[in-house]
């Protein structure tokens, strides 16, 4: 099990009355990409912030290399984050060189900014440029280079390509794949696009209403989705507009089923106990593929 880099157990995050994240457990492994897929408001960004330790969990624990890391500074070095908007995450008044030299100094690294640029496939003469002189994709590569300066074990990428031009998304995802292989990084890939998870992630988790409702290897989850929510997500994947109309659950409705399955109000296969009892994680058709859905509980027993 030494390939486990980060393990979160039973994470809960409550904001006043909103349960943004409810009992989320997730394992990130070295040299693997894990996708966390869900619609807007499902709680994915809150999971990223919890794993980055930018916010404290209401309940649950996070283990890095099998232990609780008390010192936030040490933790944050090993677990780096890449955000959705590469422009907002770079300071417009500083050159690219400044953005890379700073973390190299802080973490006392002997590498050069030129080496970091090479690792993210950017020319070294960009170091003297300012963020606005780069394209969105190039800026995101700089943000990734800056994260690498810390020599992290884990990279948390929250919608890293959703603000980029469609034509350059694949290039940035391929760069992340290359880094996961060469540096054996554990990568969490947060996205609303389940089709990209199939291509890019080894494992996929699907989130709805603050809970993970299905998980397994990406090929299986996307080709043979078990949870009714995942099935709807995949059916509407080519038409994101339709997905939003069909799936965007108002939070009052989610609150109304706090005892049972979050998806009950929208589920085409809802049964009476879905309203009162939370479904347990149940193995579906192959090893490691599970869904939290009452449809599979009897089949497994």
Ligand X SMILES: Nc1ncnc2c1ncn2[C@@H]1O[C@H](COP(=O)(O)OP(=O)(O)OP(=O)(O)O)[C@@H](O)[C@H]1O
Residues that bind ligand X (CB under 6 A): 15, 18, 20, 38, 40-46, 251
CB-nearer residue toward ligand X: 18 or 237: 18
**Shortest distance, position 201 Cβ to ligand X, whole Å:** 17
**Shortest distance, position 83 Cβ to ligand X, whole Å:** 11
CB-nearer residue toward ligand X: 112 or 251: 251
**Shortest distance, position 192 Cβ to ligand X, whole Å:** 6
**Shortest distance, position 94 Cβ to ligand X, whole Å:** 27
CB-nearer residue toward ligand X: 22 or 140: 22
DSSP the chain: -TTEEEEEEEEEEEETTEEEEEEEEEEEETTEEEEEE--TTSSHHHHHHHHTTSS--SEEEEEETTB----HHHHHHHEEEE-S-TTTTS-TTS-HHHHHHHHHHHTT----HHHHHHHTT--GGGGGS-GGGS-HHHHHHHHHHHHHTT--SEEEEESTTTTS-HHHHHHHHHHHHHHHHHH--EEEEEES-HHHHHHH-SEEEEEETTEEEEEEEHHHHHHS--SHHHHHHHHTTT-HHHHHHHH---HHHHHHTTTS-TTGGG-TT--GGGGTSPPPEEE-SSTT-EEE-GGGHHHH-
CB-nearer residue toward ligand X: 20 or 176: 20
**Shortest distance, position 39 Cβ to ligand X, whole Å:** 7
**Shortest distance, position 45 Cβ to ligand X, whole Å:** 3
CB-nearer residue toward ligand X: 42 or 220: 42
CB-nearer residue toward ligand X: 40 or 276: 40
């Amino acid at each position: 099990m030494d390939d486990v880099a980060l393990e979160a157990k039973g994470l809960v995050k409550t904001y006043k009355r909103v349960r943004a994240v409810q009992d989320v457990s997730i394992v990130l492994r070295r040299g693997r990409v894990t996708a966390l897929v869900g619609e807007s408001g499902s709680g994915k960004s809150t999971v990223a912030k919890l794993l980055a330790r930018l916010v404290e969990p209401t309940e649950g624990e996070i283990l890095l290399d099998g232990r609780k890391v008390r010192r936030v500074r040490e933790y944050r070095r090993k677990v780096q984050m890449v955000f959705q908007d590469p422009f907002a995450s770079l300071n417009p008044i500083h050159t690219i060189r400044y953005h890379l030299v700073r973390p190299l100094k802080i973490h006392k690294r002997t590498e050069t900014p030129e080496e970091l640029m090479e690792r993210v496939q950017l020319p070294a003469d960009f170091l003297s440029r300012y963020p606005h002189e780069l394209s969105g994709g190039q800026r995101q590569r700089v943000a990734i280079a800056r994260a690498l300066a810390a020599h992290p074990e884990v990279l948390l990428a929250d919608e890293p390509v959703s603000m980029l031009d469609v034509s350059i998304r694949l290039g940035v995802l391929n760069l992340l794949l290359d880094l996961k292989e060469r540096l054996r990084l554990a990568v969490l890939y947060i996205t609303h696009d389940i089709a990209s998870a199939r291509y890019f992630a080894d494992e996929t988790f699907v989130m709805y209403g603050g809970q993970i409702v299905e998980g397994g290897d990406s090929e299986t989850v996307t080709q043979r989705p078990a949870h009714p929510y995942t099935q709807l997500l995949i059916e509407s994947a080519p038409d994101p507009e339709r997905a939003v109309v069909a799936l965007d659950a108002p939070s009052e409705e989610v609150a109304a089923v706090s005892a049972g399955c979050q998806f009950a109000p929208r589920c085409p296969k809802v049964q009476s106990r879905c309203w009162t009892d939370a479904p347990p994680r149940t193995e579906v058709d192959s090893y490691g593929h599970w869904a939290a859905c009452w449809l599979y509980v009897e089949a497994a027993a």
